Amino acid sequence: VQGDQLFFVKKKIFSLFSCSLYFFNTVQSCIDMGNSGSSDISSCLLTEKEFLSLRKGDRIDHRDFIGMFAVAEITKVYYNRQGKVRIHYVEFPAKYDVDVDYYQSRHDVARARAISQRKSKGALSGYGKGRPVHIKPSPSDVSCGWIDGVITNRKGGQVQVKYLLQGRQQSKWVHLDNEYELRAPVVNHNNNNNNNRRNYRAANQSSDSGYHNHGTDGSYQYQQQQQYQMQQQAQAQMQRQDQMTVRTQLLLDDTEKLLQLTRTYLDAANARKCSQDQLSIYNQKVVTGLTCFKMKVSGMSKNAKKEGIDFSTAFKSSLALIKIFENDYRTEFGDNAYLMQRLEPCLNYMRSVLVQENVPSLPYVDEYEFDAKVASSVISGINHAQNHVIPDRMHHVNTNSKQYKAQQQKLQRQYEQDGQTENVHTVNINGLTQDYNSSKIAFGQSKQVQQQRAEQDLNALRFQEPDLVNDGFDDDHDCQMK
């Protein structure tokens, strides 16, 4: 969440969280499943309540910088920094001790020995040293797909995988049951897996003997490396196409959710039975969804320029969904002017966003208290969506990519065959907020103002007098001071 919408989202998200959870995924950083894994593995992770109850001397599993889960002991709890502890890896020297912030890496902490000593129970349980696999080195980056790798070591249910990334040999530990990062090689009729394995070994240095296989013919070795690179490029192209299907579907999911919010709001307005306060809440949910929808599409557009890709077909599919919704609703309530004057501004805003028109920021009702407890709940909810809900959805779409791609192409053809042109007009903010039952209307602060406020808060902390009574020292510090 960036720019002038950050303050808006902070103030609104607690009461409206259930309706806007999906919208908080931007395309480039929609997940950080790099360290969590399958739903089975995820059941081993510590909950927020479990983590916050940790005390000095307790033990947990923690995933270190090379990707391996290892047993660690809590050596310090930062009581003045909720959710932060210092750990010592039981089988390693103290120089590897690190601080762990739950809210930044909740997917790295699990119950003691739940993953580090867990035997593999999945489809890859029989995989061992020398076995080719597909690995996703950076699942938090949706532009990074599956690439070829080879298992070079195994300890219990965890394996070390070596792979080539951007021409450099790298390695990473991952549990065999972590289906979000590791899978069996996909059979490619134009690319035999045995050839992949031979090419990989020809292009990489053996981790066991230190012997670099140059072969008896340097030109043959060069050809092998070139062939391997071409195979990698072809595979990357296929992976990019699969990612486009997933990213398009996430946009369509958000489009449908926003249309459903709009429908619920209009139904409440039509019923005339709910109070003004209730109708105001429905109105605010729609405006929150529109704001997040704008951020979603804006993020996709920026990523398109950065990655050299085209999301125009995704936007057309989204516009087709909007048209279908509008036709159905107008067929049912087209003669109801009271509803149409609420429907039209919402759909116009969505269309304006999708055709890249400049749209204004939308206001919010400034009646909500946003304290540390609320912030903790919000962050926990967003992390759950990013680490579980959204990755599970992406996994499902990826598994059924042919079906979803066909549906997306059908929407695109329908849009083009209808010869639709989006005659958008200037956004009417009053039309979008006509049921706000409050005088406390505010707009999100600009990024510059937010930075100024952050600097002021930081300076206040820098120059405040120390509190020698409640400074958060632990028992060890207290003993040393005495």
Exposure class string for 124-163: b at 16+ Cβ within 10 A, else e: beebeeebbbbbbbebbebbbbbbbbbbbebeebbbbbbb
Residue pLDDT tens, the chain, 482 long: 344 344 444 444 433 433 333 333 333 333 333 333 344 687 889 999 999 999 999 999 999 989 999 999 999 998 767 789 999 999 899 988 999 999 888 889 999 999 999 999 888 999 999 999 999 887 655 556 789 999 999 999 999 999 998 778 899 999 999 988 899 987 554 444 454 444 444 434 434 433 333 344 445 444 555 555 555 555 554 555 668 899 999 999 999 999 999 999 999 999 877 888 889 999 999 999 999 999 999 999 988 888 788 899 999 999 999 999 999 999 999 899 999 999 999 999 999 999 999 998 888 777 777 777 777 777 778 877 877 888 888 888 888 888 999 999 999 998 888 776 777 889 888 889 988 877 777 777 666 777 787 788 777 777 776 666 655 444 444 444 33
Phi and psi at 98, nearest 5°, equal -140, 160
Cα angle, residue 411 at apex, residues 407 and 413 outer, rounded to 5° = 115
Q: How far is CA 465 from CA 102, 355, 382, 409, 430, in A?
A: 29, 53, 35, 63, 48
pLDDT in tens, 423-438: 788 988 888 998 887 7
What was the pLDDT predicted at 144? 66
Radius of gyration of the chain (CA): 26
- Comparing CA positions, the residue from 172, 175, 180, 51 lying closest to residue 110 is 51
Exposure class string for 59-85: b at 16+ Cβ within 10 A, else e: bbbbbbeebbbbbbbbebbeeeeebbb
Cα–Cα dist 103/381, whole Å = 11
Q: How would you classify residue 317: left for phi > 0, otherwise alpha for psi between -120 and 50, otherwise beta?
A: alpha
Percentage helix, strand, coil for the chain under 3-state DSSP, each rounded to 5: 50, 15, 35
Exposure class string for 183-202: b at 16+ Cβ within 10 A, else e: bebeeeeebeeeebbebbbb
Those residues whose C-beta lies under 8 Å from the C-beta of residue 449, and which sit 6 or more positions away, are none
- Comparing CA positions, the residue from 294, 259, 369 lying closest to residue 13 is 369
What was the pLDDT predicted at 230? 55
Cα–Cα dist 416/326, whole Å = 17
**Do the beta carbons of residue 333 and residue 404 sit within 8 Å?**
no
**Do the beta carbons of residue 251 and residue 296 sit within 8 Å?**
yes
What was the pLDDT predicted at 324? 93
Cα–Cα dist 149/170, whole Å = 10
Those residues whose C-beta lies under 8 Å from the C-beta of residue 425, and which sit 6 or more positions away, are 348
Those residues whose C-beta lies under 8 Å from the C-beta of residue 411, and which sit 6 or more positions away, are 252, 316, 317, 320, 321
Is 411 in a helix, a strand, or coil? helix
Q: Within 13 Å of residue 73, how many CA atoms lie on the same side as its CB?
A: 9
DSSP per position, 265-291: HHHHHHH--S-HHHHHHHHHHHHHHHH
Q: How would you classify residue 113: left for phi > 0, otherwise alpha for psi between -120 and 50, otherwise beta?
A: left
Handedness of CA 71, 73, 78, 82 (dihedral sign): positive
- Comparing CA positions, the residue from 63, 91, 95, 89 lying closest to residue 74 is 89
- Comparing CA positions, the residue from 145, 187, 137, 139 lying closest to residue 161 is 137
